[in-house]
Amino acid sequence: MKLVLIILFLAVSSSIAIAQSPGFPTSKERPRSEQDIAAEQDLPPEMRARLEIERRDNSHKKILEEAQRLDDLASEVAKRFQQAGRISSEDMKHLSTIEKLAKKILEFAGGSEERIDDLKPASLGDMLNHLCTLSAKVNSILKTETRHVISATLVADSNEAINVVQFIKKSVK
């Protein structure tokens, strides 16, 4: 009897945890085939819940890696600009990658891209330094918070990073 109650409790608590957790798999992840879905439906509810938790954990780990890459690329572009005094074509590619990574992080956080109209024109070096600061904040937030936390700061900083990159790209062209 105790075993049945423990299993029932685990099933209920895992389904509640799944329902409450943000960071649902995005459409850009590998689509699950009909075979995968059919095979999962044959599994007991506890196993399905465990698979869903594992999928979301993997998604969170991937976002953490992308946040670190975002931070590294932003630092690299700013450092090269300080050394050379200009943005090369390779740096422009890195800026596009930074923008894509920030959009993925924004989507993971449950935010939507918004235009920030009050960006004040500054020197290119200042804008790149601001981008470094934003990417470091995004990376820090993702490292310190669990995947269950929805952070308005993360959404705002990701949005601002996207807008700063777009502003830099426009000013360089």
CB environment 83-113: b (16+ within 10 A), e (fewer): eeeebeeebeebbeebbebbbbbbbbbebee
What is the CB-side half-sphere exposure of residue 158 using CA atoms within 13 A? 27
For all residues of the chain together, what is the average pLDDT? 81
Q: How far does CA 157 lie from the centroid of its chain?
A: 11
- The answer to whether position 134 is within a domain reads yes
- The answer to whether position 52 is within a domain reads no
If you compute the radius of gyration of the chain from its CA atoms, what whole number of angstroms results? 20
Domain that holds residue 86: 65-172
Q: How far does CA 18 lie from the centroid of its chain?
A: 19
CB 63 within 8 A of CB 104: yes
Phi/psi for 27 (5° steps) reads -70, -15
- The answer to whether position 75 is within a domain reads yes
**Is the full-model pTM beyond 0.75?**
no
Count structural domains, the chain.
1
pLDDT tens per residue across span 75-130? 999 999 999 988 999 999 999 999 999 999 999 888 888 887 777 778 888 999 99
Report the C-alpha gap between 102 and 96 in whole angstroms: 10
Report the C-alpha gap between 160 and 115 in whole angstroms: 8
Most confident of 29-33, 41-45, 168-172: 168-172
